[in-house]
Amino acid sequence: MAPIVGILGRNGSGKDEVADYLQRHSTAPNKAEDILPSWGSKRSSKTAGKTSLSPECGHRPTFLSLKGAFCEDLILVHVAVSDPKVRFSRVKKRGEPRDPDRYEDFLDQDRKEEERFHLTRSIEQADVTVFNDGTLEQFHREIERKLAGRL
């Protein structure tokens, strides 16, 4: 049975890129939203043999609940970028309306998200950390290296 993959990280870390990469290289992936509505019938979701992905999962209060509910069937992947200025640069490039224009506002957003969602606690529960400090090709190699044999 394919595991469920939970992807968490701070704003601009590369969560969507990990999800996209895994969707291109996995069998029948779907989003965690596909299994969360059927929380009571999670066994049926697991027996479907699908890998579930959620770029936004790190921003949900239910993230640690997922770890407890799915135990060995859930792999928590933390996407990390060592320098917050690199994350901010990437956020600026993607240009989404919700993203801050100033670095100070970006850091303030990080603080508010930590206060609200306690992302650090979820990160501490991660099974694997993939670093996104280089090029896209290096990031893909890091994903392959860290998740080889797990999916």
Long-range contacts of 98-105 (CB under 8 A, 24+ apart): 99/11, 99/12
Q: Please tell me the predicted confidence (pLDDT) of residue 122.
A: 84
What are the extents of the domains in the chain? 4-147
* pLDDT recorded at residue 149: 80
User: Per-residue pLDDT tens for 43-56?
Assistant: 333 333 444 444 44
> What 3-state class would DSSP assign to 47?
helix
* Range 4-147: architecture per CATH: 3-Layer(aba) Sandwich (3.40)
Share of the chain above pLDDT 90, in %: 45
Between the alpha carbon of residue 106 and those of residues 12, 48, 56, 71, 98, the distances in Å are 10, 39, 18, 33, 11
The predicted pLDDT at position 52 comes to 44
- Beta strands 30-31 and 74-80 are unpaired
